[in-house]
Amino acid sequence: MPRTKNLEPNLAAFLDMIAVSEIGPKLLSKSDDGYNVVVGGTLFEDYSQHPNILVPLPKLGISSTAAGRYQLLRRYFVAYKKQLNLPDFSPESQDAIALQQIRERKAIPDILAGRFDEAVKKCSNIWASLPGAGYGQHENELSNLRTAFVQAGGVLA
């Protein structure tokens, strides 16, 4: 569940769905709800800054600094920290960045209206695990993500 207070239920459910998609339900339950996960599944403890751990992903032929509930790369954290005047990489800061990314894709009206498929399509270039992302990584099935959204309290149109 997002740590940001007073989120509209569909928006909170959408953030939960992204976490399920990016982190997976098993690791979510073994972590601080995904907020302290480094790509590859290790955990970090210090929220004062992005962990900035470069993890080799040989199956994909890349290395990544993705971390947190929404698997944010360090370079994006640096930019959003400045843009949003964030103090750290805390759960609240991670939520704020994810919400800003969704806002930039103009998906918030779709989420609020329950137009889930449209919102996922608009956000697919942000999160590699969303269907249609095209990054060569595992993409989750839209039907499974829709189920995660509803299970998190989201309401479809």
Has residue 80 been placed in a domain?
yes
17 Rama class: left (phi>0) / alpha (psi -120 to 50) / beta = alpha
Token pair recorded at residue 1? 């569940």
**41 — phi, psi (to 5°)?**
105, -5
* CATH number for 76: 1.10.530.10
Token pair recorded at residue 157? 């149109």
Is 139 among the residues known to form the active site?
Answer: no
Has residue 156 been placed in a domain?
no
Stated pTM of the model: 0.95
Has residue 71 been placed in a domain?
yes
Angle at 59 between CA 55 and CA 60, to 5 degrees: 75
pLDDT tens, 78-112? 999 999 999 999 999 999 999 999 999 999 999 99
Which among 22, 45, 118, 139 is annotated as catalytic?
22
pLDDT at 150 over 90: yes
pLDDT tens, 42-81? 999 999 999 999 999 888 888 999 999 999 999 999 999 9
In which residue are the tokens 């740590």 written? 3
Q: Structurally, how many domains does the chain consist of?
A: 1
Has residue 139 been placed in a domain?
yes
Has residue 157 been placed in a domain?
no
Range of the domain at 69: 9-151
* Greater model confidence, 150 or 58: 150
Has residue 17 been placed in a domain?
yes
